[in-house]
Structures are given as C-alpha cells and as structure tokens.
C-alpha cells in the first residue's frame, strides 16, 4: 500500500510546485525584460533549464530515457516550437506592454482554446463545457477591448496590441498541449520536457538574433540577473519537470486546477511587489475568465478522462 500511495503523493507535491513556481513567472519576466532582450532572455533560460533537466535524467534513468522513435521526436520538436518558443516567447514580448497580472489572466484562457481545438477536430464537448467557453469569451473580450488602465501597463508602458500578442501566446501553448495528447510522445515525461526546452531555447535565440536583439551584459541590472537565474534554474528546471510528472500521474481535471490558481498568485505578486494597479473592469473581467475555466474543468471532470488536454500555459 505504501508503494501505491507514494507516486500519488509525489504527483501532488509536483502540482504544488507548479502552483507556486508558475504563479511567480510573470513577475520574474517583468524584471528580466527591463534590461534583457525578451527572446534572448527566454532562449538562454530554456537552454539552461533543458540542459540541467537533461543531465539529471541521464544520471537517474540513463541514455535510454532519450530513445525516441521518429514520430516521438517529431512531436517533441513540434511541442518545443509551440510551447516554450511560441507560447513563452510571445508572452515576454507582450509583457513589454502588458502588466504581469493581466498577462496571467489572459493566459488562463488556454483550457478554453483547447476545447475549441477539440471541437474543430471532431470531438463533441459537453454542453456545460461549451457554456463555460462562451462565458470565457465574454471575459476575454472585455479584458482585451477595455484598454489598459493606469498602472496596468508593462515594462515600457501600454500598447493596444499587447493583449492580442498574449492571446496568441495562449493559442500556441494550447495547440502544443493538444498535439502532445494526440501524437506519439516519449515514455519518459522528464526527457520530453528537457528536449522541449532545448528546442524552444534554440528557436528563441535564433529568432531573437534575426530580429536584431543583442545582449549587453554590462547593461543587465542586478534584479534582472536574479530573476533570470530564478527562471532558468528554479522555474525551467523545477516547474517544467514537475508539470510533466503531474500530468503523467494525475487526472487532467486535477492538473488543470493550476489554470485558475496561478493567475491569482500572479495578480497578487504584481500588485504587492511591482505596484501594478487594475481597474474594476479588468478585475471583474479577469474573474469571469477564471470562472469560465472553473466551469470547463468541472464539466470535463464528469467526462471520460482526457489526460493532458486541458493543461494551461506557463511563461
């Protein structure tokens, strides 16, 4: 009995790690991109995190953990493009002009995107699920169209297109997550996460260089160094591995609860530490989006378990 309970306990611990670490990523990103180009910052972050996680996997499970069929490698590379590169890359670009808390509320829409993707590929979501998505669309529309309030801008102020970029990031993460539930993946979830991060890191550095980003080490502020190290080592190494483990051992309805826990953490941290301020309209619309996510997850809990299909994004 003890051996049967141990994996479940570890899975719950992993989910708790996801709650805490991923809830803090938006604030950390805000401090990083103050003095570090966004795609360059994300690229090196994922390279470091992927290398560290890969070394641990090699030490614990050996080289066989990275053995993949051509199809499994293709899925891993595709998810590396869609999750860290597209998803997190667009998040840091958007955060230049969108507050960290508002970014988190927009990213919370990922489970809603996944429901739409399922419907487009022939799945028929429950009526309650469709109702939750409809509620979420209303909340997202208000968040995007209400315009930025004083104190709700990003590092370099506000721009009308910032929230739209963040929504595109959510779509990328949703597509990548959806793909990994329908296509062949490696049996070792930690190996999958390591290769995803390495792939995403290389893509982000390449795109950043093509876009003219240049890293000037003497211009990087101490706060950016600390936040960058935290994201590269603690978050990329710890949270991505914890997410993969929780997703492999817990029902999707349980793992997906972080979709409405993390934004709350992000908003609180943004207000308390970064001094972000939001209008009543933003807060109400954000609450509507989180309510929609709760409704969708509760509706899916009554449906057959689709492990991984409603997992949300992290930046």
Looking at residue 250, the DSSP 8-state letter turns out to be S
Local structure of 157: helix, strand or coil: strand
Average pLDDT value for the chain: 86
Q: DSSP string covering 49-78, please?
A: HHHHHHHHHHHHH-GGGG---HHHHHHHHH
Nearest to 190 by CA among 248, 235, 252: 248
**Helix 240-249 × helix 2-23 angle, to 10°:** 140
Q: Locate tokens 């479940």: which residue?
A: 8
pLDDT-derived band at 55, boundaries 50, 70, 90? very high
Nearest to 256 by CA among 111, 117, 118: 111
Looking at residue 109, the DSSP 8-state letter turns out to be T
**Helices in 146-279 by DSSP H: which ranges?**
162-182, 189-210, 222-229, 240-249, 252-255, 258-274
The model's pLDDT over 214-269, given as tens digits with 9 standing for 90+, comes to 999 999 999 999 999 998 888 877 777 787 788 778 876 677 777 778 898 899 89
End-to-end CA distance of the chain: 37
Q: What does pTM read for this prediction?
A: 0.86
**Regarding predicted confidence, which is higher, 195 or 5?**
195
Q: What is the rounded distance in angstroms from the CA atom of residue 299 to the CA atom of residue 282?
A: 26
- Residue 308 pLDDT more than 80? no
The model's pLDDT over 94-125, given as tens digits with 9 standing for 90+, comes to 999 999 999 999 998 888 888 889 888 888 88
């Amino acid at each position: 009995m003890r051996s049967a309970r141990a994996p479940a306990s570890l899975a719950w611990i992993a989910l708790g790690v996801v709650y805490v670490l991923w809830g803090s990523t938006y604030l950390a990103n805000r401090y990083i991109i103050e003095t570090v180009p966004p795609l360059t910052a994300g690229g090196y972050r994922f390279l470091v995190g992927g290398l560290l996680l890969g070394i641990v996997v090699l030490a614990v499970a050996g080289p066989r953990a990275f053995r993949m069929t051509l199809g499994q490698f293709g899925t891993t590379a595709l998810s590396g493009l869609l999750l860290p590169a597209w998803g997190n890359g667009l998040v840091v670009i958007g955060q230049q002009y969108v507050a960290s808390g508002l970014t988190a509320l927009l990213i919370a829409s990922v489970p809603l995107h996944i429901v739409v993707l399922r419907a487009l590929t022939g799945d028929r979501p429950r009526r309650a699920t469709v109702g939750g998505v409809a509620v979420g669309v209303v909340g997202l529309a208000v968040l995007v169209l209400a315009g930025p309030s004083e104190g709700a801008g990003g590092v370099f102020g506000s721009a009308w297109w910032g929230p739209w970029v963040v929504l595109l990031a959510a779509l990328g993460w949703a597509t990548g997550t959806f793909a990994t539930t329908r296509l062949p993946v490696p049996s070792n979830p930690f190996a999958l996460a390591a290769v995803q991060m390495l792939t995403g890191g290389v893509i982000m550095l390449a795109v950043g260089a093509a876009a003219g980003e240049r890293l000037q080490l003497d211009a990087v502020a101490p706060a950016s160094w600390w936040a960058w190290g935290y994201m590269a080592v603690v978050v990329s190494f710890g949270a991505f591995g914890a997410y993969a483990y929780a997703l492999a051992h817990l029902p999707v309805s349980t793992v997906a609860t972080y979709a409405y826990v993390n934004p709350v953490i992000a908003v609180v941290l943004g207000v308390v530490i970064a001094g972000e301020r939001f209008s009543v309209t933003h807060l109400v619309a954000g609450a509507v989006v989180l309510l929609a996510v709760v409704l969708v997850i509760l509706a899916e809990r009554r449906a057959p378990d689709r492990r991984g299909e409603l997992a949300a994004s992290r930046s």
